[in-house]
Amino acid sequence: MTEKISWLRRDARRARKEARASGTAPLAQRQRERLADLVAYARAQSPYYAKLYQGLPDRVDDPALLPVTDKTTLTRHFDDWVTDRDVTFSAVTAFVDDPDRIGRRFLGKYSIATTSGTSGHRGVFALDERYQNVAGALGLVAYASLGAGPIAGMLARGFRLALVGATGGHYVSFAGYTQATRESAWRRRILRAFSVHLPMPELVARLNAYRPAAVIGYASVIRLLAAEQEAGRLRIRPALVQPAGDAMTTADTERIAAAFRTAVRPIYSCTECTYLSNGCAHGWYHVNSDWAVLEPVDAEFRPTPPGQVSHTVLLTNLANRVQPFLRYNLGDSVLPRPDPCPCGNPLPAVRVHGRAGDILSFPSGRGESVALAPMVFSTLFDRIPGVELFQVEQTAPTTLRIRLLLADGTEPEQVWQRIRSEAEGLLADNGLRSVALERAEEPPRQEPGGGKYRAVVPYR
Q: CA torsion angle for 256, 261, 263, 266 (degrees, to 10)? A: -10
Contacts of 423 (CB under 8 A, 6+ apart): 380, 400, 402, 437
In degrees and rounded to multiples of 5, residue 40 shows phi and psi of -60, -40
The CA distance from 245 to 267, in Å, is: 8
pLDDT at residue 370, rounded to an integer: 83
The CA distance from 116 to 441, in Å, is: 26
The CA distance from 440 to 361, in Å, is: 21
Span between the terminal Cα atoms of the chain, in Å = 45
Contacts of 399 (CB under 8 A, 6+ apart): 435, 436, 438
Reduced to 3 states (helix: H, G, I; strand: E, B; else coil), residue 456 is strand
The string of DSSP letters for 263-282 reads EE--B--BTTBTTSEEE-TT
Residue 51, number of CB atoms within 10 A of its CB: 11
**Longest Cα pair distance anywhere in the chain, in angstroms?**
66
Say if CB 196 and CB 166 are below 8 A apart. Answer: yes
Predicted confidence pLDDT, tens digits, the chain (460 residues): 458 999 999 999 999 999 999 999 999 999 999 999 999 999 999 999 999 999 999 999 999 999 999 998 999 999 999 999 999 999 998 998 888 999 999 999 999 998 754 444 568 899 999 999 999 999 999 988 888 888 899 999 999 999 998 888 888 888 999 999 998 898 899 999 998 878 888 999 999 999 999 999 988 788 889 989 999 999 999 999 999 877 777 888 999 999 999 999 999 999 999 999 999 989 899 999 999 999 999 999 999 999 999 999 999 999 999 999 999 999 888 999 999 999 999 999 999 987 766 778 899 777 778 877 676 787 688 678 888 788 999 999 999 999 999 888 889 999 999 999 999 998 988 889 999 999 999 999 877 656 677 888 998 7
The CA distance from 248 to 375, in Å, is: 9
The CA distance from 315 to 172, in Å, is: 17
Q: Left, alpha or beta for 367 (phi > 0: left; psi -120 to 50: alpha)?
A: left
Domains of the chain: 5-131+269-356 (3.40.50.12780), 147-264 (3.40.50.980), 359-457 (3.30.300)
- Smallest CA-to-CA distance from 130 within 1, 263, 281 is with 1
The CA distance from 125 to 349, in Å, is: 26
The CA distance from 71 to 79, in Å, is: 14
Say if CB 3 and CB 130 are below 8 A apart. Answer: yes
pLDDT at residue 118, rounded to an integer: 43
Say if CB 241 and CB 215 are below 8 A apart. Answer: yes
pLDDT at residue 12, rounded to an integer: 97
